Amino acid sequence: MQYVGCIYTYREGCICVCAIVCGPVTVCVFLLVCMCMPGLAAVDERVVGGQNCGRHQQPYQVALMRSPKIVRCGGVLIHPCWVLTAAHCALNSPISMRLGEYSLRTTEGTEQFIKSTQSFVHPNYNSTTHDSDLMLLKLQNVARINNYVRTIDLPDNCPEPNTECVVSGWGTIKTPQVYYPDVLQCGNLYILRNTDCNKIYPNAVTENMLCAGVTKGGVDSCQGDSGSPLVCNEKLHGIVSWGSQLCSQRGKPGVYTKVCRYTNWIQDTIRKNSCN
């Protein structure tokens, strides 16, 4: 009897075990068992169904690195020495980040490699409900602002339903399999009413969250995109937080931390912890 097996994850909190067992008469059986642990934040969400972003058209985009070649999460530059990301992206400090990045495999000379010196998780963050899923990272060195690295403005107010937005990130571009792109991906999404989103995810969407998607599905954030920005009318309105177990499904929008609810906390934290 011959046996071939594998183990892989297709979303954070979900693990699959597969096996091919062949008997002595060459009869083979394929087995696949998946187990998910609900309630875990979707660490590493992605852009599925998007396209390559225009080269350096998202100069506020930041990559939080798990290793020199692997992106853990996304982030967004909101101040020359501050990055905003999702609280569930927390790693051991310092966190290595890349600014001015576009192609992960190609060095263009536009990149800035900076580590964090402090992290500030929102005091009301709840890892079970994903509420207040925000974290500020203070940079060891002030980012050099140029054509490839720029900050983005915080919103003046909350976005209206049906507002068109852009989400970006280096997350997987396939689901439920994972395939991570080399080039930054962008997807166009639309804001939903929270009342409509709560019908999709009953009792899960708080006033501190917003939902964005496409009615027919096909475009979504997913594994690898957590912490990445959702930008509407050139303002930062959302941070990728959580969503459906399978990305880009019809009627299953992504859920984002609603930045407009946290501008006071963000500004106060920056003011009280000035750059070196």
**Residues 6+ away with beta carbon under 8 Å from 5:** 17, 18, 19, 20
Active site residue 168: no
Whole-angstrom Cα distance, residue 76 to residue 67?
19
List 79, 88, 122, 237, catalytic entry: 88
Q: Do the beta carbons of residue 239 and residue 73 sit within 8 Å?
A: no
Active site residue 119: no
List 119, 122, 130, 133, catalytic entry: 133
Residue 75: name the closest of 131, 124, 156, 134 by CA: 134
Amino acid (one-letter) located at 141: N
List 226, 228, 241, 244, catalytic entry: 226
CA 248 to each of CA 46, 118, 209, 210: distance values in angstroms, whole numbers, following the listed order: 10, 34, 18, 16
**Residues 6+ away with beta carbon under 8 Å from 179:** 172, 173
Whole-angstrom Cα distance, residue 232 to residue 106?
29
Active site residue 88: yes
Whole-angstrom Cα distance, residue 240 to residue 205?
14
Q: What angle do CA 61, 109, 104 make, to 5 degrees?
A: 50
Q: Do the beta carbons of residue 245 and residue 11 sit within 8 Å?
A: yes
Q: Which residue has the tokens 């937005």?
A: 165
Tokens of 276: 């070196």
Active site residues: 88, 133, 226
